[in-house]
Amino acid sequence: MNLENYLPVLLFILVGIAVGIAPQVLGRVLAPHRPDVQKNSPYECGFEAFEDARMKFDVRYYLVAILFILFDLETAFFFPWGVAMRDLGWPGFVTMLVFIAEFVVGFWYIWKKGALDWE
C-alpha cells in the first residue's frame, strides 16, 4: 500500500480545517471585544424573549422547511445526471424525463394545495 496516494486527501482535509478555523481565530484575536448588557441579552427572530421557549409556531414554518429540503434534494439529482448524460443514453434520458414529470406534478400539487401561499 502506497501512502503517497493519500497526500492530496490529507492536504485537502488540512486546508479545509484551516479555512474553517482560521477566520474564527482571526476574528477572535483582531476584532474588538466589548460586550454590554444589550449584546448579551437573549435574542431570537428579531423579538425580545418575552414568552416561554415552548411557545407554538405556525406549522407553515415547518412545511416550508420540509418542502425546501425535498425539492433541494430532488434537484441535486440533476447534476450527476447531466454529467453522465452521454453514458446513460436514451434509457437514462427517458428515466430522467419521468423523474422531472414527477417533480413537476409534485410542485403543481403543493402549489394548488396552497402550501406555498403565505398570508
Distances (CA, A) of 90 to 45, 77, 80, 97, 112: 49, 17, 16, 10, 33
Q: Mean pLDDT over residues 22-31, rounded?
A: 94
Residue 1 grid coordinates: 500500500
Tens digits of residue pLDDT in 27-64:
999 999 888 887 777 666 666 666 666 777 777 778 88
In the predicted model, what is the mean pLDDT of residues 87-112? 90
For residue 44, give the H/E element and its range: strand 43-44
**Residue 4 confidence class, pLDDT cut points 50, 70, 90:** confident
Q: What structural domains does the chain harbor?
A: 57-119 (1.20.58.1610)
pTM strictly above 0.95: no
Please determine, for residue 101, whether its predicted confidence score (pLDDT) is greater than 80: yes
